[in-house]
Structure 1
Amino acid sequence: MTVILNCASREAALKSLSECFQCQPSELKRVLILLDLDVIYEQQPRVLIPCEQYLYNFVIEHLGEHLPLTQVMWFHGTRTAPNNDFAAGILCLNESAPKVWRTVIEFAPSKVVKERLERWRFQAVPNYLYQMRTEDSLHWGPFGYLVKEVLLNARALSQHDYLGIPELIEDICIAYQENYNEDILQHYTDVLKPKIVQFVSDKRCDKSCIETALCYAYSSARNLPPDSNSVSGIDYEGQNIPPLNIVDIEQL
């Protein structure tokens, strides 16, 4: 049996989790409402396990063990050229960097900016973060979030706002302002388009995915926004995500 965890929305998360636990969505929601984690941790200070593990154990006690996951849906957020259809998949940073440079040069706000950026393209960009990201494979990703709504609430959850501007473009814009005293970041925010690329993967199907999804469903059942317990991601560690894995591309 194929079991896919999907947190594209609150309803999708509840539905896919209920399939995992082989119950009705209404029954899973009832169990989630039974527990008040705030009260538990206030009244029982000796509880030593993280709240996501406590919630996971509580649901299993009431609904039994869940089915093993076959695949998990993930969400990659970016701001990119309007015509970017990700035909080559989602590329790791060392392969996507040339495309990023083509984009920032193509959409440059003026001829002067374009010429300066073209020189930087083949030289060292005077920005520490840019150099760190491009030189250290630890930062190459590509990455995705388990819960789509996290991308839409990035700043409130202390995450980088990838839909606002990709880190590499932000690094280039910061370096440009520091060197030429001109802010071009807002220009690129205006001309590029935020997109969420939804992809499926069997690379990571561990228990922690269920824990995070349950935390998301727990807050959703109370009509609350996702909190830090709903933040979980996948790192492809320098391997491209193939186009066959892409399920949907949403332009916001």
Structure 2
Amino acid sequence: MRCLLSAKEIGEFYETNWRDMPEFGEYLLAVVEKQFGYPQILDAIRWFHATRVRPGTTFAEGIFPLDAALPRIKAMLVDAVEESDVKQRLAAVLATDRVGDSLYSMKTGDSSHWGPYAMLVRDVMFYPGDVGQHDYLGMPEIIEDICNGFEKSAGVSLAQTFERALRPAIVKFTSEPNHEESCIAAAICYVFSTIHRGRPTSSCLWCFDGEGVQVPPENIISVEFVDFPGTGQ
């Protein structure tokens, strides 16, 4: 497959005719199927959940959707603050849930934003700017929202405090197959983009949405702490 996808003509043909073509992933999948036949049915799919947590976090209870994870997130953030007065003020704000950030209110109040979320291609999370994604290894969105609200209300920035206290982590887990063709197309796009550009592009992006259901602990494969601060590039 790598030999096939190395052909420059594949990309050149799409760039010339893209107005009359399907999405790039569909196009590449059709090219590969023409050469090798239809792929085998998948029995499972492996995903990568990017976040920042305290060192030593094991995800022994699985990955929770936002509503269930939020009490744990709040406790983790309060624990990460060393200054007693700031710790007390943050704890008070989080206890009342009056964070003062519109994005925080939207995400916590609407179950469609609860996830948990993950990405099919691991390398995508190292190039958030290239694929148009939030830098989850840099800092999860909900923690950024809390930081923004607390800075507006209390005049205290906690971003660097949390960056020092929380380590970037990638949680690998498995799920039942769903949208198999889209997953395979994204994987093929990843091979193609790394051959021709040396890094993933937006065509490699395919995401998992737990839709408010916990990823059970038996589905967790590994927890990897990475020395990557997040670049947003």
In the other structure, the counterpart of 1:49 is 22
In the other structure, the counterpart of 2:187 is 213
Equivalents in 2 of 1:237, 1:45: separation in Å? 33
Of 102, 111, 115, 2:84 maps to 111
TM-score between both structures, scaled by the size of structure 2: 0.92
| Cα deviation 1:42-87 (Å, max 9, x = unaligned) | 4335532112111111111111111011111100000011121101
Equivalents in 2 of 1:107, 1:143: separation in Å? 24
Q: Where in structure 2 are the equivalents of 1:2-17 lying within 5 Å?
A: none
Structure 1 residue 197 and structure 2 residue 164: aligned? no
Greater RCO structure (CA 8 Å; 6+ sep): 2
SS of corresponding position for 1:122: helix
Equivalents in 1 of 2:19, 2:155: separation in Å? 54
Identity %: 34
In the other structure, the counterpart of 1:31 is 4
Of 92, 105, 108, 1:134 maps to 108
| Cα deviation 1:8-59 (Å, max 9, x = unaligned) | xxxxxxxxxxxxxxxxxxxx11111235343113433553211211111111
Aligned residues: 225
Of 129, 143, 162, 1:169 maps to 143
Structure 1 residue 93 and structure 2 residue 66: aligned? yes
Equivalents in 1 of 2:214, 2:124: separation in Å? 22
**Structure 2, gaps ≥5 residues long:** 227-233
Bigger Cα displacement from structure 2, 118-127 vs 128-137: 118-127
Equivalents in 1 of 2:123, 2:177: separation in Å? 21
- RMSD (CA atoms): 1.5
Equivalents in 2 of 1:43, 1:143: separation in Å? 35
Equivalents in 2 of 1:231, 1:153: separation in Å? 11
Q: Cα gap change, 1:164/1:42 in structure 2, threshold over 3 Å: closer, same or farther?
A: closer
**Structure 1, gaps ≥5 residues long:** 1-27
TM-score between both structures, scaled by the size of structure 1: 0.85
Equivalents in 2 of 1:111, 1:36: separation in Å? 63
SS of corresponding position for 1:44: helix
Amino acid at match of 2:122: K
In the other structure, the counterpart of 1:180 is 154
